[in-house]
Amino acid sequence: MSSPQRAVSLTTPELPRKAVLQAVGRTIDEWGSRNLRALPWRDTRDPWHILVAEVALQQTQAPRVAERYASLTSALSSPTATVELGKGGVIALWSGLGYNARAVRLHAAAEAIVERFSGVVPSSNDDLRSLPGIGPYTAAAIEAFAFERDVAVYDTNVARVMARAVLGAPTTATHGWQVVSAMVPAGSGWSFNQAIIDVGATLCTARNPQCDACPLRRRCAWKRSGALIDPALSTAGTSRPQGRFEGSARQARGRVVERLRQGSATFRQLHDVTGWEDEAKVRAIVVALIDEGLITRHAANYSLG
DNA sequence: CAATCGTGGAG
DNA sequence: TCTCCAAGATT
């Protein structure tokens, strides 16, 4: 007799009602129609230029990438041009952006596109994910922003909006993505995703959120609950706590690569720029940089690529 | 899965 | 000055 009503699983949190999510989605989209930031990659649908921008945007603030967008897309005008510039050229171009492995992967992605996709950026999620340096976020971003598909992007900004305004509780990347996926207004994937990212980046910020100006202030779950603790503190696995930078391997690696952007150098010169005493430790990071394809050695000289 | 991977601006 | 963290991906 006991007919199973509905399967409630502890590992599969329920989604808020679809109608509610759709209403929130339209509210965000409408706000975006009047408040989107003027960012250069929003004026194109060139899949390669958007791919370049999205890779540069990984863990790097939009205003910093915006300053570099023109020079990046000029030097990396197409997958073919990127391949021809060479890996070292792309790494050199990446100066100041951080996370130099992204330059290596961007060059590799260009090669893959030329070799496997005839130089045309693929549009399916699986094909995009098969490219070096293109993960869950970036693949969805290219689908939505270059091909205007109604998919949801899920980055640190969206994660905050989900945890705070929509759910009012900490969540996981998987669940948060399911929730936002149900919010995308049909036919408005491009504008909705741009809008929700901007809500997170300009209003629902990590620190000191501007709730008074938020289009969701009326229905914000966090605000309505009156909770003092921020639901977005340890949420979504989109942004992880970072170790101390001063004196770290990351700092020394960055100095080595930056030095090589000026031209080739000897080990002694690389050792000097690290500011480290222990030569063995410097040798270790140089070996690692070679293994990772960031630098090469010709006889006694090191260079990019 | 937790650690690793740069650099710079904001508070 | 110092801490936090930013349109994540990879191993």
Q: What is the pLDDT along chain A (305 residues), one digit of tens a residue?
A: 333 333 444 456 788 899 999 999 999 999 999 999 999 999 999 999 999 999 999 999 999 999 999 999 999 999 999 999 999 999 999 999 999 999 999 999 999 999 999 999 999 999 999 999 999 999 999 999 999 999 999 999 999 999 999 999 999 999 999 999 999 999 999 999 999 999 999 999 999 999 999 999 999 999 999 999 999 986 545 667 788 898 999 999 999 999 999 999 999 999 999 999 999 999 999 999 999 999 999 999 999 99
Contacts of residue A120, defined as CB under 8 A and 6 or more positions apart, other chains included, come to A113
In this structure, which CATH number among 3.40.190.10, 1.10.1670.10, 1.10.150.130, 3.40.50.10490 belongs to the domain A5-33+151-234? 1.10.1670.10
Residues 6+ apart with CB under 8 A from A26: A185
Confidence at residue A6, expressed as pLDDT on a 0 to 100 scale = 35
**Please, what's the b/e burial string for A135-168 (b: 16 or more CB within 10 A of its CB; e: otherwise)?**
eebbbbbbbbbbbebbbbbbbbbbbbbbbbbbbb
Question: Nearest-CA residue to the C1' of B11?
Answer: A207
At A20, the amino acid letter reads V
Residue A54 annotated in active site: yes
Which nucleotides of chain C are near protein (any atom < 7 Å from a CB)? 3-10
Please give the nucleotide, over all strands, whose C1' is closest to the CA of residue A208.
Answer: B11
- The domain defined by A46-146 carries CATH number 1.10.340.30: yes
The torsion defined by the Cα of A17, A18, A23 and A24, in degrees rounded to 10, comes to: 70
Quick check: A228 and A60 in contact, CB under 8 A? no
Task: Check whether residue A185 has its CB closer than 7 Å to nucleic acid strand B.
Answer: no
Residues of chain A with CATH 1.10.10: 249-304
Start and end residues for every CATH 1.10.1670.10 domain found in chain A: 5-33+151-234
What residues does CATH 1.10.340.30 cover in chain A? 46-146
- The nucleotide closest to A62 (CA, C1' atoms): C7
pLDDT for position A4: 37
Is the Cβ atom of A254 within 7 Å of strand B at any atom?
A: yes
**Is the C-beta atom of A256 closer than 7 angstroms to strand B?**
no
Q: Please give the nucleotide, over all strands, whose C1' is closest to the CA of residue A129.
A: C9
Q: Strand B closer than 7 Å to the CB of A304? A: no
Query: pTM of the prediction?
Result: 0.94
A174 class by beta-carbon count within 10 Å (0-12 exposed, 13-18 middle, 19+ buried):
middle
Q: Whole-number Å distance, CA A111 to C1' C1? A: 45
With distances taken from each CA to the C1' atom of nucleotide B2, the closest residue turns out to be A240
Q: What is the pLDDT of residue A239?
A: 67
pLDDT tens digits, residue range A138-160? 999 999 999 999 999 999 999 99
Q: Which CATH number applies to A249-304: 1.20.1060, 1.10.3470, 3.30.1460, 1.10.10?
A: 1.10.10
CA distances from A256 to A58, A103, A278, A286 (A): 22, 15, 15, 8
Asked whether the CA dihedral A80, A58, A44, A187 is positive or negative, the reply is positive
Q: Which of A14, A54, A258, A279 is catalytic?
A: A54
Strand partners, A298: A301
User: Cβ neighbours of residue A159 under 8 Å, at least 6 residues apart?
Assistant: A171, A173, A176, A200, A232, A235, A236, A238, A239
